Structures are given as structure tokens and as C-alpha cells.
Amino acid sequence: MFEDRTQDACVVVPGIMGSVLEDAATGRALWGVSLATLTDPLTGSGLLGALHADERERAADADTARRAPLARIRATRLLAKPWWLPVFQGLDPYSDTVKMLQRITQAPEAVAPFPYDWRLAVSYNGALLARAARAHLTRWRERAAATLGRRAAGGPAQARLVFVAHSMGGLVVRAALEQDPELAADTRTVITVGTPFLGSAKAVLALNLLNARAKPQWLVWRVQAMAATLPAIHDLLPGYRCLDLGLDVARLTPADVARFGGDPGLAARSLDQHKRHREEPFTLPGHRAIVGEAQATVQTIDDHQYAGLAVAVGRHHAFDVEADGELVRDPGTGIPARRDASGDGTVHLPSARTGTEAVTYVYGQHGTLMRHDEVLRQIRRITLERPQGVPLGGDGIGPGLETPPLGGALGQPLTLTATGLETPAGATLSVHSATTGRPGHPLSLRPDPDRTDGALSARFTPDAPDLYRVTLDTGRHVPLTQLVLITPPYTGTR
């Protein structure tokens, strides 16, 4: 009797922010190693400034990757510690996913993490992934045939690829398989977790931080300045109709993105890709989508004016579209029908699905999905080709967790909110250090007088700058977690 393992080769593709970056010339860590990048204005300003994309990096595409890959910044490994960024919020490391896959493959070498420079265009990184995945599959087939010494059904010589991709990583996988049909034929399944196939409205908010005059000032200013140069942020722009005009809903144009603080050239390239995928959909082989739901998620954008600047205001509603492309409208007034489509806090449900895949729903926050027990269980079962089982959720009604998307400052109380609960009985909300493991104290959930949706909230005043993990445990579902960065008080002007 053989152990229950897959014979295939697995590739783990992280999302945006999910790879450690360093300066190729000096070896200096630029991203994913020291929290000083996010908490210290002197250190962080320099590191975030070094991550700005230069002209060659902004123009890089799939042809660039095949002819002359860029070398100024290199990705060395997957993120190994919790991380955080304004608007996009917390991101957990991928170590649990990699270790789980290594336990269910024929050998640890069958699992290949794919760190990549997440600042650059999806098409560029897709070309690099196609080459790396082909090399990994070839090595694994050769090693398996030479050392395993047996041929079970679908054995080593027939090993195929399993991609496990989080967030933007799913877009990179799609680009790789579009560019290399032979690689697609050698792929058994693609598992995407919270991938924004239609984009995310949060990308607009990240480009708009300066206009919105958000705080803490030094960090959001530096992040906005960096984001405005990055092809990857623009590749996450929503391609669906997301600009709420009151009586109509429009798709973004490059001019809209420029008004909100982005780059019109990068936006045009991204929006053209969205149009191409609408007109020529690409079906991922064996696609299984794991989709987070029941979390407050920005789905559309209102365009406001403040001191002559265009300010993007995120809204937690979406719009349904008929088969002929017309908006669903209220029969009496003709006003577009708005509804909360829900999501994982970053990607709303319609964007996380392509319409051709099997879908599993979980209650979970976008950045912490890859440590979510149910997500790991589903990845394991799919990789081993087990039945899907009964998905959790699917009705949009369940526990949700809301934390300040821009973090907070030392000494200032934070409001932490639990949604989808009828009563606080049996539910616990706690906060502890994500960097040291220093335990915190349970917080008391009470009805929030400022909310009309029955939400419960608690106040937390941090006593030290740190990256904190907020955990909501209802006793009936897998606990929800999110990360919140607390920075020292900032006394500078910019």
C-alpha cells in the first residue's frame, strides 16, 4: 500500500508583496525583511524609493523577459514573515502552504516556490514563470524516473504540473499558460486563491492615497509615489464597470486613472488586457477557484472632488449586468440596481471567478487566506484529486472582520469590527503581536452605535509600534484573522 501522495510537480506562485526583494548589486534587502521599511520614515523612505520602477522596468513585457530579463532588483524567496501595506493591508507568509505540499508530494523537491519581482508587469512575470515551470517539471520527471524506482498509475514519467497561486499570482499563471500552450497541456490543475481576474478597486485607492490626504502621512505618501510607477499595481486595476456615475456605471479609462494619481500609459496597457480577456477568454486547465466571502469589500468607486483633486471613494456595492451588457435597473425608477456582492476584503466575488471553474467559498480575509485552515485543506484535497466536499459558505452570510485599512498610530485607539453575528455570545476578538508572538488580551465585542447593520465592535489601544494580528473566533467557523500595522507618532510634515 503506497502513501497517499501526488506524483505531480507543484509550483507555488505568491501574490503582490509576496516575494522578498533585494538590490541585485549590493544584496541590500528592500522588501519583506525588516519592518523598518514600514515603520521608520528615514529607513522606509529610502527603501520604498528604491522600489520605484524605472523606465526599463515600466516598459518590460513578455518579450523583455525572453530576450533580456531585468537585473536591477531580484526576488530571492517567498515572504517568510507577516507583512503589511496601506490599502492592501496584511499578508501572511506562504510557508504553511509550501510545507503542506511537500508532505503530500513524492519528495520535497517536487515543490518549487516561484518568487518574482511583483512590481513588474504580469506579462513579464508570466514569461519568467513559463520558463521556470518547464524547467521544474523536466527536472522532477528526470529525478522521479531515476530514483523512485516504480511506476504507479500516472507515475513519474507522466508527472504534470499543479499550480497553487494566491492573488495576483493567479494572473501570472494565466499569462504563463497563455504564452506557452505546451506548458498548459502539461498542467493538470490550477488552484487560485483570491485571484482578481477582473481586477480590484483597491488598486485605484492605492494610486489615490495622495489625493485622498490619508494618514499616517509619510507612509501613504511614499506608497502612493511608488504605486504610481509600478506596472503591477496598474495590472490590478478593475476591468469591470466600477465607476459609479449615479445613473450609469462606467469602466475606467486611462484618463480616469491619471486623475486618480496613476500612470495613463500603464493603465492603457492594463485595460487593453482586460478588454482582450473579455473578448477572448482563456480557460485555465483544471481550474479550481478558492474564493473568500462575507468580508466588507470595496467593489466600486465614486469620483469626488477635494481642493481641485479627484478623490476616489470606495463603495461596498456592485452592479449586475444582463447578458446583453445592459445594467440591471430598478423597474420603477430606472436607477441601476446596487447590491453588495461581498468578497474577501480586497477582491469581490465576481472578480475572483472566471465562470468556467469549480468554486469553493470560505469565510476569510484576502491576505491571510494562505494560512486559513480550510484553504489549506482544499488545496491538499485538490492536489491529491480528492472530491471537493461541501464548500463552506456560499450564501454571503457569515462572520466578517473589519480593521483600519491604513493602520494606526501609537496611542490612538483603533476600532475593530465583527459583522454577520447576531450576538457576541460565544465570539472572542483578540489582538497579539504578529512579530514576537507576545500575547494580548481578549476584547469585549459590543453593538456598534455608529452602524446600522448590527455590527459589533471593540476598541484597542496599542502600547507599542508593531505588526498586530487581530483574530475573530466565533466558535463555529474557522477563525478570521487580519494584520494591522501600528507606527510611531509622525512629527514630520511629509
Read off the pLDDT of each residue in 345-361 and give the average, rounded to a whole number.
92
More confident residue, 320 or 131: 131
Identical fold for domains 1-398 and 400-487, yes or no, is no
| Percentage of the chain lying above the pLDDT 70 cut | 93
Residue written as grid cell 453593538: 447
Domain 400-487 carries which CATH code? 2.60.40.10
Q: By the 8 A CB rule, do 190 and 285 touch?
A: yes
Residue 250: the pLDDT is: 94
> How many C-beta atoms surround the C-beta of residue 173 within 10 A?
31
Read off the pLDDT of each residue in 478-490 and give the average, rounded to a whole number.
88
Q: By the 8 A CB rule, do 413 and 461 touch?
A: yes
Using CA atoms, how far residue 3 sits from 23, 382, 388, in Å, is: 43, 16, 20
Architecture of domain 1-398: 3-Layer(aba) Sandwich (3.40)
- Per residue in 91-112, pLDDT (tens digit) is 999 999 999 999 999 999 999 9
Residue 287: the pLDDT is: 96
Residue 121: the pLDDT is: 98
Per-residue H/E/C for the chain: CCCCCECCEEEEECCCCCEEEEECCCCCEEECCCCHHHHCHHHHHHHHHHCCCCHHHHHCCHHHHHHCCCCCEEEEEECCCCEEECCCEEECCCHHHHHHHHHHECCHHHEEECCCCCCCCHHHHHHHHHHHHHHHHHHHHHHHHHHCCCCCCCCHHHCCEEEEEECHHHHHHHHHHHHCHHHHHCEEEEEEECCCCCCCCHHHHHHCHHHHCCCCHHHHHHHHHHHCCCHHHHHCCCCCCCEECCCCEECCCHHHHHHCCCCHHHHHHHHHHHHHHHHCCCCCCCEEEEEEECECCCCEEEEEEECCEEEEEEECCEECECCCCCECECCCCCCECEECCCEECCCEHHHHCCCCCEEEEEECCHHHHHHCHHHHHHHHHHHCCCCCCCCCCCCCCCCEEECCCCCEECCCCEEEEEECCCCCCCCEEEEEECCCCCCCCEECCEECCCCCCCCEEEEECCCCCEEEEEEEECCCCCCEEEEEEEECCCCCCC
Give the span between the Cα atoms of 346 and 407, in whole angstroms. 15
> How many C-beta atoms surround the C-beta of residue 406 within 10 A?
19
* Range of lowest pLDDT (173-182, 235-244, 263-272, 439-448): 439-448
Instruction: Give how far the C-alpha of residue 84 lies from the chain's centroid of Cα atoms, to the nearest Å.
Output: 12
Residue 303 has pLDDT above 50, yes or no: yes
Residue 97: the pLDDT is: 97
Average pLDDT, the chain: 90
* Range of lowest pLDDT (181-190, 291-300, 302-311, 360-369): 302-311
**Which distant-in-sequence residues (6+ apart) come within 8 Å of 432 by Cβ?**
438, 439, 440, 468, 469, 471
- Per residue in 377-418, pLDDT (tens digit) is 999 999 997 444 444 444 456 789 999 998 888 888 999 999
Give the span between the Cα atoms of 165 and 47, in whole angstroms. 27
Residue 1: the pLDDT is: 53
Domain extents in the chain:
1-398, 400-487
Residue 442 has pLDDT above 90, yes or no: no
Pairing of strands 318-319, 309-315: unpaired
pTM score, two decimals? 0.90
Instruction: Kindly indicate the confidence band of residue 154, based on its pLDDT and cuts at 50, 70 and 90.
Output: very low
- Per residue in 214-272, pLDDT (tens digit) is 666 888 889 999 999 999 999 999 999 999 998 999 999 999 999 999 999 999 999 99
Residue 2 has pLDDT above 70, yes or no: no
